[in-house]
A = this chain, B = another copy of it.
Amino acid sequence: MTFPVVGMVGGGQLARMTHEAGIPLGIKFKLLSDTPQDSAAQVVSDVVIGDYRDLETLREFARGCDVITFDHEHVPTEHLRALEADGIPVRPGPDALVHAQDKGVMRAKLEALGAPCPRHRIVTDPDDVAAFAAEGLAEGEQGKRGGREAPSGKGGGGRRAGGFPVILKTVRGGYDGKGVWFVRSAADAAEPFKAGVPVLAEEKVDFVRELAANVVRSPHGQAVAYPVVESQQVDGVCDTVIAPAPGLGEELAGRAQELALRIAKELDVVGHLAVELFETHDGRILVNELAMRPHNSGHWTQDGAITSQFANHVRAVLDLPLGDPRPRARWTVMANVLGGDYPDMYQPYLHCMARDPQLKIHMYGKDVKPGRKVGHVNTYGDDLDEVLERARHAAGYLRGTITE
């Protein structure tokens, strides 16, 4: 059989779950992993242990792969170009991936496309942050930016046009709240500049909630859009995802899907693209982040959609026809399982299975450390309150924050 070999760079849980989805597809899966203990390296047959930052390691790994794809966005662009020059398809390609690697490049490109973004610009030092905040305030007072109101002290229904707080992000290397600062004054803004990396300032959007529009696109241009989901963050880390986003109007949902499909096309993304969005009080959606790989906001698809994001990512990078992205249940909820104070999760895991025989547990094989994502659970059903309660109870019980 001439079933192809997919080379996956990075051994995290996304690689682990992509391998799981690739098994029924009959493809061969080859992994480049930092250590044999990595989440995916525990379950994949064909593993190369090596450093993705080393070009020769990458080249050696890519030999015999029909396509290279990624568990993370950290492979240097010049290495990806070198692989392409060697004749290895890299999907998503370096010209697309840079928009998920560099938030400065991403913002510039989205602005050029007219995609709605929070107010932003590259800042050079704390004084420049203060200037950025003042600009926003001035614009807000003048009512220039789409009729937004001045900042509300209570933060309830008010919309901010600018001023502090401001979000600062290093343009490269951030993840799950790392490389992101929430600053309330110029005096507060020294830290982000210490690394010597360009820093992007963004207005703190006074959003109703966060959404994610996930799409998958293949090289020949076929694309599918998953239902738009609501993503709830706690301390900058994804906590719960509800599919579809409750109460989201068809018009806004359609707009979010169209936006994600347009970004995928314009950036020539191949594979899964997650577009993280803010829904504002005045019915706009603003792009928060892009990720070009399977994404935490799409984990619900494993048990809640006809085709999971992982299966469709594999199909896309191989230019196979994409699978149906539609939901299988009225509601699906994903809740992340974070490490708690107890290193041994097996007993609570057993308890959760006994309590809820319909619970879908997904463990990553990682050692438990406080706050570390070590798994997630999916629940689905007709009654959102019940589905939410089951997912949250299981995730909390596994973490140890719920004990009954």
Contacts and interface: CB of A to CB of B under 8 A. Distances in A.
A200 to B, nearest CB: 36
Contacts of A29: 43
29 contacts: A1-B343, A1-B365, A1-B366, A1-B367, A1-B368, A2-B346, A3-B346, A17-B23, A19-B43, A20-B23, A24-B360, A24-B362, A24-B363, A26-B349, A26-B361, A26-B362, A26-B364, A26-B375, A28-B42, A29-B43, A41-B45, A42-B45, A43-B45, A315-B353, A321-B357, A323-B353, A323-B357, A323-B358, A324-B358
Nearest to A345: B1
Contacts of A3: 346, 363, 365
Interface residues of A, number: 50
A2 to B, nearest CB: 5
Contacts of A306: 357-358
Nearest to A306: B358
A47 interface: yes
A43 B22 CA distance: 9
A357 B358 CA distance: 26
Q: Which of A23, A320, A354, A375 has its CB near the most chain B CB atoms (within 10 A)?
A: A23
Contacts of A131: none
Given A23-B19, A315-B353, A361-B26, A344 B1 contact: yes
Interface in A364-382: 364-368, 375
Nearest to A375: B26
Interface string A300-320: 001000110000000100001
Chain A, interface SS category: loop
Nearest to A4: B346
Interface in A81-112: none
A248 interface: no
A25 interface: yes
Contacts of A28: 42, 365
A350 interface: yes
A328 interface: yes
A183 interface: no
Contacts of A360: 24
Contacts of A16: 23
Interface in A35-77: 41-45, 47
A294 to B, nearest CB: 14
Contact of A346 (B1, B321, B344): B1
Given A323-B358, A354-B321, A363 B2 contact: no
Contacts of A115: none
Contacts of A357: 306-307, 321-324
